[in-house]
Amino acid sequence: MAKVYLFLAEGFEEIEGLTVVDLLRRANIDIIMVSITGDIHVTGSHQITTVADALFEELDYSDADMLVLPGGMPGTKNLQEHKGLDHLLREAAYNNKRLAAICAAPRVLGVKGLLQGKRATCYPGNEDSLLGAHVINAAVVHDGNIITSKGMGTAIDFSLSLIKVLKTADEAGRIAQAIQYLHYSE
């Protein structure tokens, strides 16, 4: 079974984080919500407090198949500044592990040079942070080991793309049908 870690920082965009968790769990993908705050309770950008599954420092990420970054402000800035996550993202990229980011969070990968030569997308206004990337205006962009998405309105498409990569297109289609998401196309 695929193992996914989604990182929560104070000020994360709740829909971007929780939609990924919800849909991946519906697809029976093991996804762990990880707090980088030192507290299991993490409050999003719209004052919704989420209880993470674990704290960053408690886990060994060697079994990760994918690392996911939700956007939101100041969540993205907090993700970008976390030294442990910085090391983890760089190591994952070096080992060609899958990285996924939505909304403003692709900038975390961009400023670290992890999008160099890749096609990527992000929330409008963050394009300058995607250093070395070929910026594409699309809901979801998949290039090699990197998946990026535009924002809250693309959270379902983003999540289904992750399911397609981690499982199959048929499973992503099954989930889309189960939730009555009528705009999904493979």
Give the tens place of pLDDT for each residue, 9-30.
Answer: 999 999 999 999 999 999 999 9
Q: Closest Cα partner for 97 from 172, 166, 26, 22?
A: 166
In degrees rounded to 5, what are phi and psi of residue 114? -85, -5
The pLDDT tens digits of the residues spanning 132-172 come to 999 999 999 999 999 999 999 999 999 999 999 999 999 99
- At residue 1, the pLDDT reads 79
Pair 66, 99: CB distance under 8 Å = yes
- At residue 185, the pLDDT reads 61
Average pLDDT over residues 38-65: 97
Q: What is the mean pLDDT of the chain?
A: 96
The pLDDT tens digits of the residues spanning 155-164 come to 999 999 999 9
Q: Is the pLDDT of residue 183 over 80?
A: no
In order of their start, the domains of the chain are 3-103+148-178 (3.40.50.880)
